[in-house]
Homo-oligomer: A and B are copies of this chain.
């Protein structure tokens, strides 16, 4: 039992309206034009309430994007019948996410927060990167077990390639077509060498 602290309890409605306002302004103006004053004003909240619960803009943005606004659950490799199909599913879902301007803007904001703040980097790793790597790893293991995946494939480099491709695409900002996942998946699946190494 959390042994109810004395004093007025934290307002859940304020917390929510702050996260919503942050998400809206992040989409409208981007990370660097985002102001805590604006967030507080739109959320109908005192500035101090922001600083009481979040140490920095980056931390607030990370919480906003990771916890409450974007839904990343689908972006996880599900243990499906085929490991390659699981990866393709994730690539398609990522493309669909990035194709929505709002979601892309939020993700870009998260990326900017992570690159300028240690705690945001930690949250990004904990709630996005690591689960994703875990999912990739499970998919690989099941694929290896079923004979679909080469036995000597390492998780780490594959994850770096996949997540990196997604982030690079996001950062480029240019829209990608439906064949984006195809191209990635083809390289990943078959490699580029003409003859398989013995």
Interface residues of A in 140-165 (CB under 8 A from B): 140, 143, 147-151, 153-154, 156-158, 160-161, 163-165
Chain A 96-128 against B: per-residue CB contact (8 Å), 1 yes, 0 no?
Answer: 000000000000100110111000010001000
| Set B31, B163, B165, B188: member contacting A192, Cβ < 8 A | B188
A13 at the interface (CB under 8 A from B): no
Contact A148-B191, Cβ < 8 Å, known A165-B160, A168-B163:
no
A residues whose Cβ falls under 8 Å from a Cβ of B: 30-32, 84, 108, 111-112, 114-116, 121, 125, 129, 140, 143, 147-151, 153-154, 156-158, 160-161, 163-169, 171-173, 180, 183-184, 186-194, 196-197
Q: Is the CB of A150 within 8 A of B193?
A: yes
A108 CB contacts on chain B under 8 angstroms? 115
A196 CB contacts on chain B under 8 angstroms? 190-191, 196
A180 CB contacts on chain B under 8 angstroms? 157
| 23 CB < 8 A contacts A-B | A108-B115, A112-B112, A112-B116, A114-B171, A121-B173, A143-B192, A149-B192, A150-B193, A153-B192, A156-B183, A157-B180, A160-B184, A161-B161, A161-B164, A163-B164, A164-B167, A167-B168, A168-B168, A187-B191, A188-B191, A189-B192, A190-B193, A191-B191
- Assembly CA distance A169 to B161 (angstroms): 10
Known interface pairs A112-B115, A129-B172, A148-B194; 8 further A-B residue pairs with C-beta atoms within 8 A, sorted by A's residue number: A140-B192, A149-B192, A150-B191, A150-B194, A153-B187, A160-B169, A164-B168, A190-B196
- Assembly CA distance A191 to B191 (angstroms): 4
Identify the interface centre among A149, A156, A165: most chain B CB within 10 Å of its CB: A165
| Set B116, B160, B183: member contacting A168, Cβ < 8 A | B160
A168 CB contacts on chain B under 8 angstroms? 160, 163-164, 167-168
